Amino acid sequence: MAQFVKKENLTISIGEYEKDGQTKKQWRTIGEIISMVGDDGKPYQFFKLWGAGGVVEGKVFEQQDNNQQQAQHQNNQQGFNQQQGHQQGYNQNTGFQQR
């Protein structure tokens, strides 16, 4: 059985006010993040957002390593450039190879 770890509030700043001569932010709670440990011992999180349309639920995923994202982006760019290079030898209007 999954085990509850903690709940954290999701808040947004909805304005400012002054107290004792200092400007402070006014915060509104719009949801919560719930942290759990699954039966397999791995931690996971999900969230609930409260709004006019009701409650929206979602999952929290760990961000990928920035280096992995850059490598993936470069691979995608490389594949795109190879496709463009392959297509450059063909006339787009006739579909025949230009010589």
pLDDT tens, 22-52? 999 999 999 999 999 999 999 999 999 999 8
- Higher pLDDT among residues 80 and 64, named by residue: 64
pLDDT tens, 5-28? 999 999 999 999 999 999 999 999
Give every CB contact of residue 90 below 8 A, 6+ residues apart in sequence. Answer: 96, 97, 98
Res 71: pLDDT: 63
What Rg, from alpha-carbon coordinates, does the chain have?
A: 25
Between CA 47 and CA 6, with CA 52 as vertex, the angle to 5 degrees is: 20
Res 64: pLDDT: 83
The pLDDT-based confidence of 75 (bands split at 50, 70, 90) is low
The domain ranges of the chain are 3-63
